[in-house]
Structure 1
Amino acid sequence: MWLAKMQRPDAERYRSDLDAWLAADPANLAAYNKAAGRFHDAKMLSQSKRWRPAPLDNPGHRTQWALVAVVAVVLGAAWPLWKTLSPPATIETDGRQTAATTAVVASATIENLHGAISRRRLPDGSFVSLDTQSVMRFAFNPKARDIWLDAGRARFSVAHDGRPFIVHAGTGTVTATGTVFDVVLAPDGAVQVRLLEGGVDVQPSIARPMPPRKLKAGQALTFTRIDHAVPIAVIDPRDIEWVDGMMAFESAPLSEIVAIANRYARAPIRIEGSGLPDMRLSGRFRIDNPDRLAANLAQSLDLTVEHQPSGAIILRR
Structure 2
Amino acid sequence: MEDSETPQRHGQLREEAANWFAIMRGPDAEIRRDEFEAWLARGAIHRLAYNRIAETFSNGRFLKEDCEGGLEKEPTQEHSPKPQRKASRSIGIVCATVSIIALCGAVLYLSTSSMRVSNPEKTQPIASASPSVGQPVQLATAFGEIRTFRLADGSKVTLDTDSVLLVAFGKAKRDLRLVRGRARFDVFHEARPFVVSAGNGRVTARGTIFDVSVGDDRRVTVRLIRGAVDIDRLGPTVNEKAAALRLTPGQQFSFKDGGQQQVSEKPEPDVADRQWPDGLREYENVRLDDLLAEANRYSVVPLLTASRDLGEIRVSGTYRITDPKRLAENLADLLGLALVTSSDSFLFAVSCTGYEGKNCQPPS
Which TM-score tier does this pair reach, normalised by the shorter chain? 0.5 to 0.7
1:220 aligns with 2:252: yes
Q: Distance in 1 between matches of 2:181 and 2:334?
A: 30
Q: Distance in 2 between matches of 1:232 and 1:297?
A: 32
Distance 1:274 1:100, change over 3 A: closer
Q: Distance in 1 between matches of 2:226 and 2:233?
A: 20
Q: Name 1:257's counterpart in structure 2.
A: 291
> C-alpha root-mean-square deviation of aligned residues, in Å?
2.8
Larger mean Cα displacement after TM superposition, 258-267 or 276-285: 276-285
> Does the CA-based 8 Å contact 1:98-1:108 persist in structure 2?
no
> Does the CA-based 8 Å contact 1:97-1:111 persist in structure 2?
no
Q: Name 2:328's counterpart in structure 1.
A: 294
Report the number of matched residues.
Answer: 224
Match 1:272 to one of 289, 306, 312: 306
What per-residue deviation string (whole Å, max 9, x for no partner) do you get for residues 276-316 of structure 1? 223222332221111221122112211122333x2742322
Q: Name 2:188's counterpart in structure 1.
A: 159
Q: Output the TM-score relative to the length of structure 1.
A: 0.63
Q: Work out the percentage of aligned pairs sharing the same amino acid.
A: 37
Q: Output the TM-score relative to the length of structure 2.
A: 0.56
Distance 1:226 1:240, change over 3 A: farther
SS of the equivalent of 2:137 reads: strand
Q: CA deviation at 1:180?
A: 0.6
What per-residue deviation string (whole Å, max 9, x for no partner) do you get for residues 15-65 of structure 1? xxxxxxxxxxxxxxxxxxxxxx99xx9xxxxxxxxxxxxxxxxxxxxxxxx
Whichever structure has more helix as a proportion of its residues is 2
Tell me the amino acid that sits aligned with residue 136 of structure 2.
Answer: S
Q: Name 1:233's counterpart in structure 2.
A: 265
1:242 aligns with 2:276: yes
Q: CA deviation at 1:232?
A: 4.6
What per-residue deviation string (whole Å, max 9, x for no partner) do you get for residues 147-174 of structure 1? 1111111000011121111100111000
Q: How does 1:193-204 map to 2 (within 5 A)?
A: 193-204=222-233
What per-residue deviation string (whole Å, max 9, x for no partner) do you get for residues 228-249 of structure 1? 6533522641333211212223
Q: CA deviation at 1:177?
A: 4.6
SS of the equivalent of 1:210 reads: coil
Q: How does 1:38-49 map to 2 (within 5 A)?
A: none
Q: Which runs of 5+ in 2 are unaligned?
A: 1-29, 35-122, 351-364
Q: Distance in 1 between matches of 2:124 and 2:209?
A: 22
Distance 1:103 1:150, change over 3 A: closer
Q: Which runs of 5+ in 1 are unaligned?
A: 1-36, 42-95
Q: How does 1:10-29 map to 2 (within 5 A)?
A: none
> Does the CA-based 8 Å contact 2:202-2:231 persist in structure 1?
yes
> Does the CA-based 8 Å contact 1:185-1:191 persist in structure 2?
yes
